[in-house]
Structure 1
Amino acid sequence: MKIMFVGDVVGHNGRKAFQKYTPKLRAERGIDVVVVNGENSAAGKGFTRKSLDELYQGGADIVTSGNHVWDKKDVLEFIDQEPFLIRPANYPGEAPGKGWCVYPFKAKNIGVMNLSGRAFMPPLDDPFQKVEELLREMEKECDLIFLDFHAETTSEKIAMGWQLDGRITGMVGTHTHVQTADACILPQGTAYITDLGMTGPWKSVLGVQTDKILYRMQTCRPVRFETAEGPSVYSAVIMTIDDATNRATDIERIYLREEEDGIGL
């Protein structure tokens, strides 16, 4: 089995890139299941019905999120009805939606959970304790278990990887929009990458217009962020899973960058 995880989709350009490259990769590489982080898919922050539907139309099977999940109030109208849209499970109290899902594929139940880090992020419940609670529930239902850990610091994501090594099939980090070069199979068999990277306009600062970011950094004054336009980058990993053992045997980084003519490198 091959499962592809696609990094944070940013705005209209990110959705276009996702719709363009996901079907091609799925056909060429024999991808069985696609998981994508879509929390920036609607104009750079949050979800709308349209942005979520375009991810599904582009080939997403499961959509994860992060700290921007609530930024568009539209999400409250549909998050409870979406079986494969998940938000960080460590929101305190009775938050809308759910923090993990089970996706049936052939004879397997694929479990995907979503957690948010706390370093330089909103002060949610402890993800290192929450993941233990989730595992107790998911192990009853799932043959394979994956985590999207939406966190700011590399250290927090790496620490989570070590905590889960050998206990889940794979873990990907999201949020920082820059793909890391450390994709590997950890010693006890968990496929891991610190950050998937971004799917969205690369002539930008993490998907935002460069002049807006430079103004804020140079003046320390507020400015309204706008999603950039232009050619996109597509960032992902493909995990290969042994069907007999449900363990990862390979993790491969995917990094496609368009130029002005739209040709991916």
Structure 2
Amino acid sequence: MAETVSILFVGDIVGSPGLQLTETVLPSLIKKYEADFVIANGENSHEGHGINESIIKSLHNLGVHVITGGDHSFDKWKVFPYMRENNTILRPLNYPKGNAGSGFGVYEIPGTSYKIGVLNLQGRTFMKAIDDPFSAADWALSKIKEETNIIFVDMHAEATAEKISMGWHIDGRASVMVGTHTHIPTGDARIFPQGLGYQTDAGMTGSFNSSIGMDKKVAIKRFTTGVHQKYRAAEGDNHLCGVFAKVDTETGKCVHIEQVTYPEFYSSKES
């Protein structure tokens, strides 16, 4: 039987509720899935927008090896020096040159002789007009392939069509691609023909008594009035959403992928 490495990904951690739940359940999930490498998207972890050095260190202490980002990676400017000095906190590669941080890195997988490449990209449809993520992916994957065939991609994007198009674009060149940003988990975890493990969106880790992690009353006001209202992180009905995958160490192909939700959602209640 081929040797595999196990990767656990934690979807967008939103505010204190998401951080508290991650702190509570992540160690047991790492043990349950026997995860060799843990990645988490943390761009919403500080008050729902951005991240700071304290949170980064806390997530590393919990067992997270790499933290990915997205359109809120640069919301808290005090983290910029830390991002410049530490490649375990990523931001989307396709932001223009000169911004703080790295868009990808290659890391030792603890307890093994293998390395894993982690690439962070951001879509452009209904989002900021930044550089092309497809050409950025081509360049980064060629660089990562010089060191390892095991490659994980966090594609932070609004449009499902853009995410799945990226999946087809990198199928056969990456091991796993998971979408982030919409905060709603999709039920389409599958393996593409050339071995890419794929899920359109991992979902979020935080309060589902909310509108994508934010106070639902504020969200409704924004929609009904058309006027900006300051968001604040919601509380209650907290869930950790993510993805678990196994990758063949020789070929770099995904051999197993599944959605992770803790606690699980329930579609009915007993009367």
TM-score under structure 2 length normalisation: 0.93
CA distance in 1, matches of 2:98, 2:8: 30
**Aligned partner (choices 75, 78, 81) of residue 74 of structure 1:** 78
Partner of 1:183: 189
CA distance in 2, matches of 1:110, 1:127: 20
Question: 1:163 is matched by which residue type in structure 2?
Answer: H
CA distance in 2, matches of 1:241, 1:135: 17
CA distance in 1, matches of 2:69, 2:263: 23
Given that 1:11 and 1:43 are in contact with CA atoms closer than 8 Å, whether structure 2 keeps it comes out as yes
Partner of 1:216: 222
CA distance in 2, matches of 1:138, 1:145: 8
Give CA deviations for 1:171-192 in whole Å, capped at 9, x if unaligned.
0100000000110000111100
CA distance in 1, matches of 2:76, 2:98: 19
Give CA deviations for 1:97-122 in whole Å, capped at 9, x if unaligned.
11001110121110001010000111
Q: Secondary structure at the match of 2:70?
A: coil
CA distance in 2, matches of 1:12, 1:56: 16
For residues 101-140 of structure 1, the aligned pairs below 5 Å read: 101-105=105-109, 106-140=112-146
Partner of 1:263: none
Q: Does 1:255 align with 2:261?
A: yes
How far 1:243 sits from its partner (Å)? 3.0
Q: Does 1:227 align with 2:239?
A: no
Structure 2 residue runs without a partner (length 5+): 266-271
Partner of 2:14: 10
**Aligned partner (choices 164, 185, 200) of residue 158 of structure 1:** 164
Report % sequence identity: 39
Q: Secondary structure at the match of 1:95?
A: coil
Partner of 1:60: 64
CA distance in 2, matches of 1:99, 1:91: 9
Given that 1:237 and 1:254 are in contact with CA atoms closer than 8 Å, whether structure 2 keeps it comes out as yes
How far 1:156 sits from its partner (Å)? 0.1
CA distance in 2, matches of 1:256, 1:243: 28
Partner of 1:92: 96
Question: 1:160 is matched by which residue type in structure 2?
Answer: M
**Aligned partner (choices 138, 147, 152) of residue 153 of structure 2:** 147
CA distance in 2, matches of 1:184, 1:12: 31
Given that 1:15 and 1:54 are in contact with CA atoms closer than 8 Å, whether structure 2 keeps it comes out as no
Give CA deviations for 1:227-247 in whole Å, capped at 9, x if unaligned.
111231110111012234332
CA distance in 1, matches of 2:47, 2:69: 15
Given that 1:150 and 1:173 are in contact with CA atoms closer than 8 Å, whether structure 2 keeps it comes out as yes
**Aligned partner (choices 24, 31, 38) of residue 20 of structure 1:** 24
Q: Secondary structure at the match of 2:198?
A: strand
- What is the total number of aligned residue pairs between the two structures? 259
Off by >2 Å, runs of 4+ in structure 1: 242-246
Partner of 1:40: 44
CA distance in 2, matches of 1:136, 1:245: 16
Given that 1:232 and 1:258 are in contact with CA atoms closer than 8 Å, whether structure 2 keeps it comes out as no
Question: How much is the aligned-residue C-alpha RMSD, in angstroms?
Answer: 1.3
TM-score under structure 1 length normalisation: 0.95
Question: 2:144 is matched by which residue type in structure 1?
Answer: M
Q: Does 1:245 align with 2:241?
A: no
Partner of 2:206: 200
Given that 2:154 and 2:178 are in contact with CA atoms closer than 8 Å, whether structure 1 keeps it comes out as yes
Given that 1:234 and 1:257 are in contact with CA atoms closer than 8 Å, whether structure 2 keeps it comes out as yes
Structure 1 residue runs without a partner (length 5+): 260-265
Q: Secondary structure at the match of 1:78?
A: helix
Give CA deviations for 1:193-226 in whole Å, capped at 9, x if unaligned.
0000000011010000011001111111111100
How far 1:258 sits from its partner (Å)? 7.6
